[in-house]
Amino acid sequence: MKNSTLFFRTLALVVFIAGGAHLFSYLSYDGEMVANGAAESQLEKEIITDEKEENMLVNDKTPEKDALPAKAVEVDKETLTGQWKVEYDTEDYKGSIVYRIKNESGKHKAYTHEYRDPAGNAQKAEGDLVLVIDRFEGETGKGTYTIEYEGKSYEIEAKLKRVNAKTFTLSYDYYGYGDTETWKKL
Amino acid sequence: MIEFLSKHLEWANVEYWFYIFNDLSLVYIILPFFVLELIRYAYLKRLNKDLVLDSLANAFTFVAFYAIEIILGILAVTKVYFWVHENLSLPHLPLNWMTIITCILLADFAYYWDHRTMHRIGLGWATHTVHHSSEHFNMSVAYRFGPLDAVFPILFSLPIVMLGYDPILVLLAEVFVQVFQTLLHTEIIGKLGKPIEYIFNTPSHHRVHHGSNRQYWDKNYAGILIIWDRLLGTFEPEVETVRYGISEPLNSNNPFKVFLHGIGRLYRKMKGLKGFKNKMLALIKPPDWEPS
């Protein structure tokens, strides 16, 4: 067999297999977005229920007005900027961290802003960069999240999912070490 | 179907499945099968000192190969894989069944080219001849590795990482292909059904690959799928009874000699060639190449 035939057959096979995987990934990403808009996940339901209860207690308003389902929320990328609180209850850390998301040259980046212990005591954070949002279209997005483990920093891919205008979830899975965080806007 | 293929998978589960297929296969299939082969050898009155020493030499080469692989991994390979993944890769693929299946297909195809290269260039054959130098054919031969056998696959798996596949997944897929390949080293299983023989690499196809009969040289490089050989012109069916070994027999079961004889032969060949260019060409030209 001629070398050129070998080359083109090999190239065609690689393009077909890897291209198929990328095309599939792209299409399923779009599908995921549609699915997210059509149905609320269990987590979304829980968060919305929590918010409904919160709103009823604090504002004495009808829950339907404040806590709209995810699909009804008009997503604006600019709503990302500002302060977001995440609750943690792990062996390493109990309490919450407030992050500040800034829009830097069109890219949204989250920095640590404040640590809060369960008693409500706050301490200013060092302002470390923890999340770079690569894209957040519609209701899903992707970013690079920095986690610390045994003194080392790891930059890992994270999936973002809009729950409503004031809440999104961030999930990651780094070779079995994973979590889903709920980011709530302050 | 699309929903199943695109369903996000957890790393812990994926690693567990590969642990069952890759790591545990030694316990639940390879070792029991090897024992069965020994019983068969005994029944056929072929269980002799040479076979036992050959198997021990195979085990020794595996330990040496594994040590080299660990050292390489610790020194650089893992870091290079991750660096390439972060800096020279297409958009990263999500962890789902489609990614796993295509990664195994690509790892299998990379195995084909890695294997073919090791047969068709001098340096490759210097290490891979170790695997072919046994005149027996059983599961222990699958573990008969040469000193550079851990190096060549890196060149062929890095492009898969560049295509957006996770380095750990690529390594797991490579081991999966290798484990499948291991199971083909047996004389117990004859030919399987036609559809299987047409698509998959089988013990029959791999016996051909280990044949020193002239028509069997440089044939059937496949790992899992024999279709790569069919598509790229290197397929040969098993017709004539296979004679195992290499054209220039080793005639030794000394583990050190087994492990290093290919490198020694290449060194002596290069030493005998005139001119620097010819010496270098001996590394990349086919093993039977001689300057004109």
As a whole number, mean pLDDT of residues B192-204 equals: 96
pLDDT band at B210 (very low <50, low <70, confident <90, very high): very high
**Per-residue pLDDT at A22:** 94
**Per-residue pLDDT at B10:** 82
A9: contact with B, CB 8 A cutoff: yes
Residue A148 to chain B, least CA–CA distance (Å): 18
Terminal Cα distance for chain B, rounded: 58
Cα separations (Å) of A21 from A79, A175, B13?
Answer: 33, 20, 20
**Per-residue pLDDT at B254:** 96
Q: Which of A84-98, B76-90, B98-112 has the highest mean pLDDT?
A: B98-112
Q: Say whether pLDDT at B151 is over 50.
A: yes
A153: contact with B, CB 8 A cutoff: no
Q: At what angle do helices B152-162 and B97-120 cross, to 10 degrees?
A: 150
The tens digit of pLDDT for each residue in B92-104 reads: 898 899 999 999 9
Task: Mark yes or no for CB contact B99/A10 under 8 Å.
Answer: no
**Per-residue pLDDT at A129:** 92
Domain ranges of chain A: 1-39, 40-70, 73-185
> What CATH number should be reported for the domain whose range is A73-185?
2.40.128.520
Among candidates A13, A31, A173 on the partner chain, residue whose Cβ is nearest the Cβ of B11: A173
Cα separations (Å) of B260 from A143, B71, B144, B286?
Answer: 49, 18, 12, 19
The tens digit of pLDDT for each residue in A90-135 reads: 887 889 999 999 988 888 999 999 999 888 888 999 899 999 998 8
Residue A110 to chain B, least CA–CA distance (Å): 21
Exposure on the CB side of residue A111, measured as CA atoms within 13 A:
13
**Per-residue pLDDT at A32:** 54
Residue A25 to chain B, least CA–CA distance (Å): 7
Structure tokens that stand for B1 in this block: 């179907």
**Per-residue pLDDT at B238:** 96
**Per-residue pLDDT at B30:** 93
Domain ranges of chain B: 2-284
ipTM field: 0.90
Chain B residues lying within 8 Å of A1, measured CB to CB: 232-233
Among candidates B10, B86, B99 on the partner chain, residue whose Cβ is nearest the Cβ of A21: B99
Percentage with pLDDT > 90 across chain B: 85
Residue A172 to chain B, least CA–CA distance (Å): 10
Q: Which residue has the higher pLDDT, A178 or B194?
A: B194
The tens digit of pLDDT for each residue in B239-279 reads: 999 999 998 999 999 999 999 999 999 999 999 999 999 99
**Per-residue pLDDT at A62:** 41
Task: Mark yes or no for CB contact B168/A175 under 8 Å.
Answer: yes
Chain B residues lying within 8 Å of A177, measured CB to CB: 11
A6: contact with B, CB 8 A cutoff: yes
Chain B residues lying within 8 Å of A176, measured CB to CB: 10-12, 15
Q: Which residues of chain A have pLDDT under 50?
A: 33-44, 57-75
Residue A180 to chain B, least CA–CA distance (Å): 13
Among candidates B86, B93, B105 on the partner chain, residue whose Cβ is nearest the Cβ of A25: B93
Mutation target among A8, A22, A145, A146 for the B interface, most CBs of B within 10 A: A22
The residue written with tokens 């130098």 in the block is B133
Among candidates B5, B12, B94 on the partner chain, residue whose Cβ is nearest the Cβ of A176: B12
Distance of alpha carbon B33 from alpha carbon A24, whole angstroms: 39
**Per-residue pLDDT at A76:** 54
Average pLDDT, chain B: 94
Task: Mark yes or no for CB contact A25/B99 under 8 Å.
Answer: yes
With CA atoms as reference, report the closest residue to B221 among B133, B119, B147. B119
Chain A residues lying within 8 Å of B103, measured CB to CB: 21
Distance of alpha carbon A129 from alpha carbon A105, whole angstroms: 15
Chain B residues lying within 8 Å of A178, measured CB to CB: 10-11
List, in sequence order, the alpha helices (H) in chain B: 2-6, 11-18, 25, 31-43, 49-72, 78-87, 97-120, 122-132, 152-162, 167-182, 194-199, 203-209, 227-231, 255-272, 276-284
**Per-residue pLDDT at A93:** 84
